[in-house]
């Protein structure tokens, strides 16, 4: 099963935790054309036959086949950030998270200015149950581009993984300031406020989310903190 946040990371700029939450599931729908179009966006200049092969393998969810195809192309050009990205994606979808980390590490080494590579590497660390490494990676990413709402969202998620709700809330706030339509960031922000017992701020986040995604807002409302006397 593909983790929902992978398409967000891949698609909004470009997660495979199988116990995903509803709001991360919604994140996958951010790309109307699905993951294939995003993978193809990394293969500009690649032969059309190779692009068609990627579409075929991804459509069949043949992750081993997709990995093998990426490796065949990397054997021809080991310095292709695009094929390292495809290999990382194939590994992540197959649940080989440590291998995905290795692939995306190559992606960012070869294309350090590409924010997508950093986001993908960070999510691979999250999938590998290494959220502290994800935080470190995302802080590096923010040195590349501070104005990426998706990076701030991932940072909020990573801090949340570590039960660090104050920095998580700060990261989610940055995300919604950059993209007020990012429903998943509003959910994360509201959840952080709920954990911190900040009822008024929680209600503001919930109100914003209700306008964007009523179903997701219902999920958030179940986390409403008790009123303080």
Domain CATH code at residue 85: 1.25.40.10
Which of 74, 108, 129 is the last residue in one of the domains? Answer: 129
C-alpha dist (Å) from residue 38 to 34, 92, 117, 203, 224 = 7, 15, 13, 35, 36
DSSP state of 226: P
Same domain, 97 and 180: no
Same domain, 205 and 164: yes
Name the residue range of residue 206's domain. 141-229
On whether the CB atoms of residues 43 and 54 are closer than 8 A, the answer is yes
Which of 100, 129, 158 is the last residue in one of the domains? Answer: 129
Same domain, 125 and 145: no
Question: So what's the pLDDT on residue 36?
Answer: 54
Per-residue model confidence as pLDDT tens for the chain (229 residues): 444 454 555 544 333 323 333 333 333 333 334 455 556 666 666 677 887 888 889 888 999 999 999 999 999 999 999 899 999 999 999 999 999 999 999 999 999 998 989 999 999 999 999 999 999 999 999 998 888 999 999 999 999 999 999 999 999 999 999 999 999 999 999 999 999 999 999 999 999 999 999 999 999 999 999 876 4
In-domain check, residue 146: yes
Using alpha carbons only, give the angle 80, 86, 89 rounded to the nearest 5 degrees. 140
How far apart, in whole angstroms, are the C-alpha atoms of residue 206 and residue 220? 7
pTM of the model: 0.82
Same domain, 114 and 10: yes
Same domain, 49 and 125: yes
Same domain, 154 and 71: no
Using alpha carbons only, give the angle 28, 92, 190 rounded to the nearest 5 degrees. 40
Helical segments of the chain, H only: 4-8, 22-27, 34-41, 48-59, 63-76, 81-93, 97-110, 115-127, 131-144, 149-161, 165-178, 183-196, 199-212, 214-221
Same domain, 183 and 85: no
Same domain, 55 and 118: yes
In-domain check, residue 136: no
- The pair of structure tokens assigned to 72 is 């065949």
In-domain check, residue 135: no
- How many domains in the chain? 2
Same domain, 123 and 152: no
Which of 95, 129, 163 is the last residue in one of the domains? Answer: 129
Contacts of 29 (CB under 8 A, 6+ apart): 7
């Amino acid at each position: 099963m593909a983790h929902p946040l992978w398409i967000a990371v891949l698609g909004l700029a470009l997660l495979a935790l199988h116990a995903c939450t509803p709001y991360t599931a919604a994140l996958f729908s951010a790309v109307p054309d699905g993951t294939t179009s995003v993978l193809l966006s990394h293969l500009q200049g690649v032969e059309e036959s190779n692009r068609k092969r990627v579409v075929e393998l991804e459509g069949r969810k043949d992750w081993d086949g997709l990995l093998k195809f990426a490796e065949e192309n990397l054997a021809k050009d080991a310095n292709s950030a695009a094929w390292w990205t495809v290999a990382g994606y194939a590994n992540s979808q197959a649940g080989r998270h440590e291998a995905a980390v290795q692939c995306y590490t190559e992606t960012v080494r070869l294309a350090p200015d590409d924010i997508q590579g950093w986001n993908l590497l960070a999510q691979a660390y999250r999938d590998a149950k290494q959220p502290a490494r994800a935080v470190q990676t995302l802080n590096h990413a923010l040195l590349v581009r501070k104005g990426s709402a998706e990076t701030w969202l991932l940072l909020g998620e990573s801090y949340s993984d570590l039960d660090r709700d104050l920095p998580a809330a700060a990261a989610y706030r940055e995300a919604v300031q950059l993209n007020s339509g990012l429903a998943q960031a509003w959910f994360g922000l509201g959840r952080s406020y709920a954990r911190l017992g900040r009822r008024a701020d929680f209600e503001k986040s919930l109100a914003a989310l209700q306008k964007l995604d009523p179903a997701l807002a219902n999920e958030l409302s179940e986390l409403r903190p008790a009123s303080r006397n």
